[in-house]
Amino acid sequence: MAIENEKFAGLTDAQVERILEQVATVLNLACDICKNEAERHSGHESAYTFHALDYILSGVGALADMPIRGGVVGDFGAWMMGPYFSEYGDSRNTVAGGKS
């Protein structure tokens, strides 16, 4: 059986875009959880673990968001440093922005 589009294992561009959007959305949720836990554990050594996880997950989320033109959170600046560092000037966060 031949795969029609071997580049994406037979998936269409729209399907790949939806997958990347879902990956970025889930990573954004994981980042929010890490930020909340870091704040909850402030003053304790475990807060550093949550900060590190947030940073790692933000990097992966930015990589997933980049090919879909920052449709979930925004560009690398928004992912790594917050909405005020984004070239868009604000966050495109679908969870906070209400986009589904």
Residues 65-92: pLDDT tens digits? 999 999 999 999 999 988 787 765 554 5
Question: Is the pLDDT reported for residue 2 higher than 90?
Answer: no
Copy the structure tokens of residue 80: 């790594």
Domain boundaries, the chain: 26-93
The whole-angstrom separation of Cα 18 and Cα 78 is 20
Question: Is the pLDDT reported for residue 49 higher than 90?
Answer: yes
pLDDT confidence of residue 4: 62
* One-letter identity of residue 58: S
Q: What is the mean pLDDT of residues 16-45?
A: 97
**CA angle centred on 69, ends 56 and 99, rounded to 5°:** 90
The answer to whether residues 61 and 24 touch, using CB atoms and an 8 Å cutoff, is: yes
pLDDT confidence of residue 14: 94
Q: What is the mean pLDDT of residues 46-62?
A: 97
The answer to whether residues 56 and 48 touch, using CB atoms and an 8 Å cutoff, is: no
